[in-house]
Structure 1
């Protein structure tokens, strides 16, 4: 049986948020146990896009070079189009590298886990299914579960839930401690995606392309990924999901063909995978801290995939947590970190990410773009500086206020002209 050293942190969930947290905690000298029910490499249904803000976190933690070697594609510009708007911005302009990353989850998660495992202070147990939390005096003290060697129990001052939107950590703590207060908004759209081969470079180069409103609620995304494939994702009214999934391949192709521009970009290409679906989703906000426990990634903030924010939210929140945890450990008075000591994480996470979460939540409530959103997109189409500002916000690459005063003024002009 594997001997586990005395632990500082247990992380449940070893995909993007969990592995990133393990890497950054180990770099700071903490002893981490990283658990996951899967055996890696393991695929999962997910967006493939890491926006600029998340890509910068990957670079700072030393993961980006490995992800590029695994086939990760660095998109260096972004284009957004729809009825009455079409704008783009260069992500390689003067200043910090703002290129994003596109890579499938099977490779991305395996690379991140391998990097986490390269640190002596990280112990990894795959195929470990957490079944319960160890709770005493209204505080989480550890986890119980079943692994390759049978039933095990592990203790640490902090348990991090990074086990996805259907988090067992969050569910158990909610039931037993009434922790992790949440609010939810159903996503009005359903999402399907597939890989395509043979997409000509003169049709799609190094851009991330997002398209809206070819029909009410419709959205599309295109980007190159590993093995020179292109991932093509389609969004549509969730009420159409039942009929769509009767013939997903034919219906995805029809949806793309009826688009404004992305269908033409895929002309002559061949679908090289089965069509995958996200199912019906929700935007979920959770208060991310409880006595002895903290939530990262989709556990704490799960967003509509429409804007491709999920990976970047997970990475940014993990970096925030790992920067603040040393002070939380210093303030520890008992067996576990208190929710009060970790309150600065909630404040900082929400300060940085809630404007993006709210944008996703608003888009989830309605199938059509709001008048305000249309005015913003049309403003970005009028002036390059406005496109740069809009896409910098969309890429989550700056904490600068958006919209700026001059962008808001341009939006107002567009709204009056509509």
Structure 2
């Protein structure tokens, strides 16, 4: 039986990082927000666990960063990048600046973000409520139909936000019904697996994020401390090897990590705990994020190869853009929705600020070997301290408007290219 429609300023489908962050920003602006998710919480989700420095800046502005630290989130204070012909690192907290990232599993992080959103009087949260359709008027989204154990419910709002992941129901339904949210997919060349380890001594691994490239043909690895004294370690490899890898997940994960440049030694003596997690075969996906009455956030709008740990930060930084632009959107409401033309500023801001990071990841993830430009950038960072700092700031999504490489960095890359 259908329930009468209820009115909100915004409906957010998907209550994890992107959705909860958007709810907080909108509620701060005095908006009435319905935040829904098909899952019950706390619950897990496949993830790299990493919030890069650009993302932690948003968490700090939302006043939730300290809470996530209290839950056990590890602030990694250093980043190191290793490859066959480069090895460099840099500090993320120095000279009075705190650009540290955060590593925290999804069970704790998602539940905490939802609690933070629910603390606002203007936010109504409903879990185990699945979006089954969109309300459409005159080619624009004006709300949703959701279903839970008690039946079908309708909700209206001039803004609907799809923050429901790379398989977004909001994006799929809007595409089918009004031709919205055009997408481009670029297959990831690698498969991705991770697990937790306990007993990693601090003399082997401090509060550091370590990433590796091409320790074997097409391979990559990542390791970082996370909550409860655990360390999360991930490996990525040629997707064609996935079926063979799955014949012995734990033993093969350990074997792939042991063939690394440094990660195997960092985990020496540690014990794997729990099961091995897999992302399966993935695409890098970019969707046009705006339609009449609706936008897409997080993985729904930009999904990238997880090895680079950009997902959380892309989600948080795109939600921050919503917070900055929303007041203008609501003043532009026409009828029962916000026109696509009014929402177009979101596309321009997202593309200017976030697409350079997305494109850099796609360039690396679409092929098994590092392309020449990426290799030259890593080599340049290995040669000069200032270049390493510039590279790490870009990798941590801390470069304003992604102005990378600088002129002198590009000149150093050109010098290295001529020398090669």
TM-score (norm 1): 0.98
Per-residue deviation, residues 23-49 of structure 1 (Å, max 9, x unmatched): 111111100000000000010111100
Partner in structure 2 of residue 415 of structure 1: 417
Instruction: Give 1:280-291 correspondences, 5 Å limit.
Output: 280-291=281-292
**1:296-328 superposed Cα distances (whole Å, 9 cap, x missing partner):** 000000111121111100000010012101101
Q: 2:346 matched to which residue of 1?
A: 345
User: 3-state SS of the aligned residue for 2:160?
Assistant: strand
Q: Please name the residue that 1:65 is paired with.
A: 66
Residue number in structure 2 paired with 1:11: 12
In structure 2, what is the equivalent of residue 229 of structure 1?
A: 230
1:96 Cα deviation (Å)?
3.4
Equivalent residues of 2:16, 2:110 under 8 A apart? yes
1:322 aligns with 2:323: yes
Matched, 1:48 2:46: no
SS of structure 1 residue aligned to 2:342: coil
Per the alignment, residue 382 of structure 2 pairs with 381
The C-alpha deviation readout for 1:172-231, integer Å capped at 9, x for no partner, is 000000000111100000000000000010110011000111111100000000011000
Structure 2 spans left out of the alignment, 5+ residues: none
Report if the CA contact (8 A) 2:53-2:396 is conserved: yes
Q: Residue 139 of structure 2 corresponds to which residue in structure 1?
A: 138
Question: Cα distance, 1:6 vs. partner?
Answer: 3.5
Counterpart CA distance in 2 for 1:417 and 1:212 is 22
- Kindly state the Cα deviation for residue 145 of structure 1 after the two structures are TM-superposed: 1.6
1:406 matched to 2:405: no
Partner of 1:94: 95
* Counterpart Cα distance in 1 of 2:227 and 2:134: 38
- 1:101-180 aligned at under 5 Å gives the runs 101-180=102-181
| CA deviations over 1:231-270 (Å, ceiling 9, x no partner) | 0000000111111011110100000111111100000000
Write the distance in 2 (CA, Å) between the matches of 1:119 and 1:304. Answer: 33
* Aligned residues: CA RMSD: 1.4
Q: State the 1:86 CA deviation.
A: 0.5
Aligned length: 418
Q: What TM-score comes out, normalization by structure 2 length?
A: 0.98
Superposed displacement of residue 398, structure 1: 2.0
Compared CA separation, residues 148 and 69, structure 1 to 2 (3 A): farther
Deviation at 1:2, TM superposition (A): 11
Asked if structure 2 preserves the Cα contact closer than 8 Å seen for 1:190 and 1:278, the reply is yes
Deviations 1:35-86 (A, max 9, x none): 0000000101111000000010000011101111111000011000111100
Shift of 1:417: 2.4
* Moved >6 Å (runs of 4+): 1-5
- Provide the residue aligned with 1:214 in structure 2: 215
Distance 1:167 1:322, change over 3 A: same
In 2, Cα distance between equivalents of 1:14 and 1:373: 35
After TM superposition, list the pairs within 5 Å mapping 1:182-261 onto structure 2.
182-261=183-262
Contact 1:302 1:310 in 2 (8 A): yes
**Alignment gaps of 5+ in structure 1:** none
Tell me, yes or no, if the aligned pair for 1:306 and 1:360 is still in contact at 8 Å: no
CA distance in 1, matches of 2:94, 2:116: 30
Q: Tell me the SS of whatever aligns to 2:338.
A: coil
Distance in 1 (alpha carbons) for counterparts of 2:5 and 2:319: 24
Partner of 2:314: 313
Q: 1:154 to 1:128 in 2, by over 3 A?
A: same
CA distance in 2, matches of 1:270, 1:89: 28
